Chain A
Amino acid sequence: MLLWTRRSRIIAIALFAALFAVVVVAPLAMIALAAVAGSWNGVLPSELTGTHLAEAVRGDAVAAAVVSAQTAVIATLTAVVLGTWLALGAAAAPPPVRRFLDAAAHLPLAVPSVVVGLGLLVAFSRAPLLLNGTRWIVLVAHLVIVLPFTFSVVSAAQRRADPVLAAVAESLGASPARVLWRVRLPVLLPAMSASASLGLALSMGEVGATIMLYPPDWRTLPVSVFTLTDRGQVFAASASTAVLLGITLAGLLLLGRLGKRSSER
């Protein structure tokens, strides 16, 4: 549309291909190649091996993967529930309260993850609530980081939702609980599943707060990838990263299917 001559189109697309290769394709290809590289001295790995990947699904590495998956699932589920709750509650509140809640719930988005970690470290290393040194502090950090995103997505959907639906249900005599369960929540289901995808991806890759808080028995995959990189075991780190991406993608696919089904209903 914007480019009429064949030549200018070809130039634009060639430039696009080159930039896209550098920005998106090359990094992913590097991780994939390094995950199966035995040694890498030339342009391409000189020998390929499955050892690193095999080790990434054994022992310490798989323990970290399980910890990460658990953390992501628990934190995301909690964040979706609380985010939806907050979105529904804020929508029903008077405008000044609603505006305040909207700003407050979005605020963690602007705070760097290391500061979230530092805050939890300062607040919960002392009585009355001693969480430091337990896995709970990691879960709480992930919840705080994911919550603004789930709230944001669900409350945007709530604003777009047709208020007539709930009003009709009410006028037909449905109790508030029934309206919530049969009308308000089903309308929000696609947004809830989309927000869960977002939360899962964020939580699986979270490193800033986790690295400040993790106890020895609750080390997530990104932290163990960092430990490996720091020790110079870059191939093992790549293999673990590949596992991390695999888990994330599998989770996203699953949630995508759920979301599709819920929006078709």
Chain B
Amino acid sequence: MRRLLWLLPPVAVLVVFFGYPLALVLHQSFVSDDGVVGLANWHEVLASAEFRRALVRTVLLAVAATAGCLVLGVFLALVIAFAPFPGVRAVSRLVDVVLAFPSFLIALAFTFLYGSAGVVNAALGAGAVDFLYSPWGVLLAEITFYTPFVMRPALAAFTQIPGAQLDVAASLGASPWRVLRQVVLPDALPALASGACLTLLLCMNEFGIVLFVGAKDVITLPMLVYTKAIVTFDYPAACVVAVVNVVFSGALYALHRRVFAKGEGRAAVDAA
């Protein structure tokens, strides 16, 4: 019993500053502006085209970005692990550094790269690329930012595969493609699935990139929470959207914990 008492201070911090606010958000989502308790806010928000668009856009963006990160991250990790070249250590160092940077950096860099007066348009002629202020701009920014998040667990998994296994497969006449498909990828599957699951969660919750790209018609759920609360001061509606967002990302996270219960610490490091 005394041992449990010792837990009180950190648990109190979690309850007061995380649990209680979240419970109030849930409560507030059922209380309308004039204090009536009911489902009015929910009806209003769920029926609005704005919300439905944001929901669909969030899910599509997150799924597409995760797929993109997976393809790109696995390829980059494969080359580092199995076709190393001089300077490969500096490259993986740089990846670790990039993981520590904020996501809005990518959005800001994109305006210089692909903006209307950006480098690519200057090189190829004005109007050559014009996707930055569309969902494509946000999608590419998310892929760019989150690829290292898949790349790192993938690399960790690939380097654990014993080289002898690959050599045996190859000496028995398997083509590189077949070795990749039948030896490397199955071995790395848990790490890849876990990385993809977390990337999906992070992409669903991504705010910095959407905010900094600032495309008017690219509204995701977190962005909608922000605009409802800060721009239009519509707290009840913001709370409804927030609850929906938390339900989605919470479900994803629960799935992740269930399927990949081991290596929780690693997962969090990768998430950061």
Q: Which of A17-62 contact B (CB under 8 A)?
A: 19-20, 22-28, 30-31, 33-34, 40-44
A101 in contact with B269 given A43-B123, A118-B242 (CB within 8 Å):
no
Instruction: Considering the complex, give the chain B residue whose CB is closest to the CB of A200.
Output: B100
Smallest CB–CB gap between A33 and chain B, Å?
7
Chain A residues near B179: list those with CB within 8 A.
Answer: 2
> How far, in angstroms, from A147 to B257 measured CA to CA in the complex?
18
Instruction: Considering the complex, give the chain B residue whose CB is closest to the CB of A158.
Output: B265
Interface residues in A, total, Cβ within 8 A:
98
The 8 A CB mask of B196-209 against A (1 = contact, 0 = none) is 00000100110110
> How far, in angstroms, from A28 to B95 measured CA to CA in the complex?
12
A89 in contact with B207 given A104-B14, A205-B102 (CB within 8 Å):
no
Instruction: Considering the complex, give the chain B residue whose CB is closest to the CB of A244.
Output: B102
Pair A27/B225 contact, Cβ less than 8 Å? no
State which of B13, B85, B207, B257 has its C-beta within 8 Å of the C-beta of A143: B13
Pair B207/A112 contact, Cβ less than 8 Å? yes
A12 in contact with B211 given A111-B249, A119-B22, A207-B102 (CB within 8 Å):
no
> Any chain A CB within 8 A of the CB of B32?
no
Instruction: Considering the complex, give the chain A residue whose CB is closest to the CB of B235.
Output: A122
State which of A153, A159, A234 has its C-beta within 8 Å of the C-beta of B111: A234
Pair A115/B3 contact, Cβ less than 8 Å? no
Which one of B143, B147, B207, B214 has the greatest number of beta carbons of chain A within 10 Å? B207
Instruction: Considering the complex, give the chain B residue whose CB is closest to the CB of A31.
Output: B109
Pair A3/B82 contact, Cβ less than 8 Å? yes
A120 in contact with B122 given A27-B110, A30-B112, A115-B225 (CB within 8 Å):
no
Chain B residues near A159: list those with CB within 8 A.
Answer: 265
Instruction: Considering the complex, give the chain B residue whose CB is closest to the CB of A198.
Output: B272
* Interface majority SS (helix, strand, loop, mixed), chain B: helix
Pair B25/A122 contact, Cβ less than 8 Å? yes
> How far, in angstroms, from A202 to B123 measured CA to CA in the complex?
35
> Any chain B CB within 8 A of the CB of A127?
no
> Any chain A CB within 8 A of the CB of B94?
yes
Interface segment among B34-42, B44-52, B70-78, B127-135: the answer is B70-78
Instruction: Considering the complex, give the chain B residue whose CB is closest to the CB of A249.
Output: B97
Interface residues in B, total, Cβ within 8 A:
96
> How far, in angstroms, from A13 to B22 measured CA to CA in the complex?
48
* Interface majority SS (helix, strand, loop, mixed), chain A: helix
> How far, in angstroms, from A140 to B230 measured CA to CA in the complex?
19
Q: Which of A62-111 contact B (CB under 8 A)?
A: 82-83, 85-86, 89-90, 92-93, 97, 101-111
Interface pairs (21), CB distance under 8 Å = A2-B78, A16-B75, A27-B110, A31-B108, A82-B9, A85-B9, A105-B14, A108-B18, A113-B205, A115-B246, A119-B18, A149-B268, A194-B269, A198-B272, A205-B104, A205-B105, A208-B222, A212-B229, A212-B230, A222-B104, A229-B108
The 4 closest A-B pairs by CB, nearest first: A156-B265, A205-B102, A119-B21, A152-B268
- Interface residue ranges, B against A (CB under 8 Å): 3-4, 6-7, 9-11, 13-14, 17-22, 24-25, 28, 72, 75-76, 78-80, 82-83, 85, 91, 94-95, 97-106, 108-113, 117, 119, 122-123, 143-144, 147-148, 163, 166-167, 170, 176, 179-180, 184, 201, 204-205, 207-208, 211-212, 214, 221-222, 225-226, 229-230, 235, 238-239, 242, 245-246, 249-250, 252-253, 257, 263-269, 271-272
Known: A16-B83, A115-B242. 17 other contacts (CB 8 A): A1-B163, A23-B72, A24-B94, A27-B113, A31-B108, A86-B7, A93-B7, A115-B246, A122-B21, A147-B13, A147-B14, A159-B265, A201-B100, A207-B104, A226-B212, A229-B108, A252-B100
